[in-house]
Amino acid sequence: MRQLSRTSSGALVLTCAVMLSWGTPSAATAQNEVRPAPPRGADDGGGPYERLIIRGVNLIDGTGAPPTGPVDVVIEGNRIAEVRTVGYPGLPIDPARRPQGATREIDAHGQYLLPGFVDLHTHNSGAGDFAVRNPDTEYIYKLTLAHGITTVRDAGRGDLSERARSARNEIVAPRIFAYQRYGWDYDRPIRTPEDARQMVRHKAQQGVDGLKLGAEDPEIMEALIDEARRHGMGTMAHLAQGGVGRMNTLNAARLGLGTATHFYGLFESLLKDYRVQDWPMEVYNNNDEYHRFGQVGRLWDQIHPPGSQVWNDVIQEFVELGLTLDPTMTIYVANRDVMKHSNADWHHHYTRPELWDFFQPSRENHGSYWFNWTTHDEVAWRNFYRVWMQFINDFKNAGGRVTTGSDSGYIYQTYGFGYIGELELLQEAGLHPLEVIRAATLNGAETLHEPKGIPIEFGIIRPGLLADLVLVEENPLENFKVLYGTGAVRLNDETGEVERVGGVRYTIKDGIVYDARQLLAEVRDLVDAAWAQWPGSVERPALLDWPRAVAEGAGPAGGPVIPTERLFYWR
């Protein structure tokens, strides 16, 4: 999601209006700033260790290689030092063949180890209305880490101070790559290409990692992308309706854009009967978000269809130009089923009141356009997703790079949970689960490192790379739902009880081992405390936990029991 283009004074006005309607702004909102994350405490994460050994794990290395194990992974400090196969399934492991000298061990036999996930589209810092709904970053960071995300691309404000603090592990947070919005934190007017170049040079001097662009005027866009490239800065673009008439994804890719995020500009690159979207001119005002988002869904059949010459040509050209697609399907998925996402399992425990309030239908809150969201709207978006997914899958199969981004914090998507939703959606789009993991790890790392002209430092499990890892007790390739903080539902045949299994066990960032369950518990406490003080009009979402409700009752009755089997196809 992109913030609406607003002047800084405009943002201030909006924030004041929201605060007035609340009556009692918190300290953070009074300052109009997000509270930075508190210093990392002594109990927050263990390590880094001189020699940490993760024992006996099944390895999913991020390259697309299939799972393999038992493997011992040795980490020294913040680097992976060794990845050693130590035996065979079904046989005892010979201790003499295993690496020695651990100062800390994690018993991970039968569990799964993956590279830390890379979320290429997040908002975890900001001011104004962002601060109103996210009074502190601790909440965001902990949910992020608890879902295995060890690196984020902050695609808005790109806070350099938080980036530095995270790099020094002074805070509990993922690695941050700071991408800044065009014009953010820059007070000179940008009217000419040279103005734009100056702005980019200024940001380059500050050490900003990249630019978050909109659909700027062509000559400005060209200057921004070119200047960014000269300074080793990445570029990502949300090609919004306001400018897409001259700057669709194909136009931007030809100028050298790095990442196209969301769907904006993509469908517009494939339009069939017009060069602009066929907006209904009886009623359309781009600043009415119901109009804007309701009409996006209707794009699905305004384009050259899947498999057509134009469709295939555009894919081919994207691949040749080296464009990365970061679709963030998760952030719009409520558009095809808003009831589902407003009732998600996690809202009760994990969505803080300011954010929940923000999600409710509102003409002001970005992404809360449920003024009258109808069956038609959902059906249009279901069709839209079908076509969008096919494009993503065809692009991937043509050799294009697809990555994972969540943009959580809007449209009923809660941090961390929304990211796992993206993994599920990529599988729905046709990616093999191993391709999904590669999108989430290696592809993300490449996208971040490529503009800098340096090899990846994380993103796969290899000796020499940084120790950013996720350990999961269940097999995530079998079921990505096990990665949700609320877990996956499973019937326990031993006890007859319905359980929730999974959730990430440990997230290791830069050699520091975070207990994901503890992070989640801390978030629950934080959310409970926030609701306890919540003065607002919205009620806390209900605890929807039906399986637990039948946990009482006896186990299976006596008598012979037919064994149960889980099925799989050899395909």
Partner 1 sequence: MSSHLKFHMRSARSRQPGAGSTVALLLLTFMGAVGIQAQDGRTPDRGPNEGEGPFDRLIIRGALVIDGSGAPPSGPTDIVIEGNRIVEVRAVGYPGVPIDPSRRPGGATREIDAHGQFVLPGFIDLHVHAGGPSQKVPNPTYSYKLWLAHGVTTVRGVALGEGDLVWALEEKARSARNEIVAPRIYNCAKNPDRVAGWDDPDLMDPESARRWVRFVHDMGADCLKLGRYAAGMMDPPVMEAILDEARTLGLGSTAHLHQPGVARMNALDMARLGLVGTTHFYGLFESMYRENRVQPFPMGYNYQDEQHRFGQVGPQWRLIHEQGSDGWNALLDEFLERDFFLNPTLTIYEASRDVMRNRNADWMHEFALPSMLDFYQPGREAHGSYWFYWTTKDEVEWRNFYQRWMAFLNDYKNRGGKVTTGSDSGFIYNLYGFGYIRELELLQEAGFHPLEVIQAATLHASEELFHASGESPPFGLIRPGLLADLVIVEEDPLANFKILYGTGAVRLNDDTGDVERVSSIRYTIKDGIVYDSKQLLQDVRDMVEAQRMERLAAGGDR
Contact residues: partner 1, CB under 8 A: 337-340, 343-345, 360-363, 370-376, 378-379, 382, 386, 423-424, 427-428, 433, 478-481, 488-491, 493, 498, 542, 544, 546-547, 549-550, 552-554, 562, 564-569
* Residue with smaller CB distance to partner 1, 179 or 356: 356
- Residue placing its CB nearer to partner 1 in the complex, 46 or 496: 496
Residue 425: CB minimum distance to partner 1, A: 9
What is the distance between the alpha carbons of residues 402 and 324, in angstroms, rounded to a whole number?
6
User: In the 8-state DSSP scheme, what is residue 46?
Assistant: B
Shortest Å distance, C-beta 490 to partner 1: 5
Minimum CB–partner distance for residue 444 and partner 1 (Å)? 20
Tell how far CA 479 is from the center of its chain. 18
Name the residue nearer to partner 1 (CB basis): 9 or 564: 564
Contacts of residue 171, defined as CB under 8 A and 6 or more positions apart, other chains included, come to: 36, 37, 38, 39, 40, 141, 162, 165
Closer residue to partner 1 in complex, CB, 254/363: 363
DSSP state of 35: B
> Residue 531 Cβ, how far from partner 1 at the closest point, in Å?
18
Q: Are the CB atoms for 480 and 423 separated by under 8 Å?
A: yes
Closest CB to partner 1 among residues 219, 539: 539
Q: Please state, in angstroms and as integers, the Cα–Cα distance from residue 183 to each residue in 315, 393, 431, following that order.
A: 31, 34, 36
Closest approach, Cβ 154 to partner 1, in A, equals 28
What are residue 399's DSSP bridge partners? none
Check: CB of residue 536 under 8 Å from CB of residue 22.
yes
Q: How far is the CB of 370 from partner 1 (least distance, A)?
A: 6
Cα(354)–Cα(349) distance, integer angstroms? 14
> 64 or 556: whose CB is closer to partner 1?
556
User: What is the smallest separation between the CB atom of 551 and partner 1, expressed in angstroms?
Assistant: 9
User: Judged by CB, which is closer to partner 1: 188, or 363?
Assistant: 363
Among candidate residues 4, 210, 119, the one with its CA nearest the CA of residue 413: 119
User: Are 482 and 501 spatial neighbours (Cβ–Cβ below 8 Å)?
Assistant: yes
Closest listed residue to residue 325, CA positions, set 383, 385, 396: 396
Q: Whole-angstrom Cα distance, residue 212 to residue 3?
A: 11
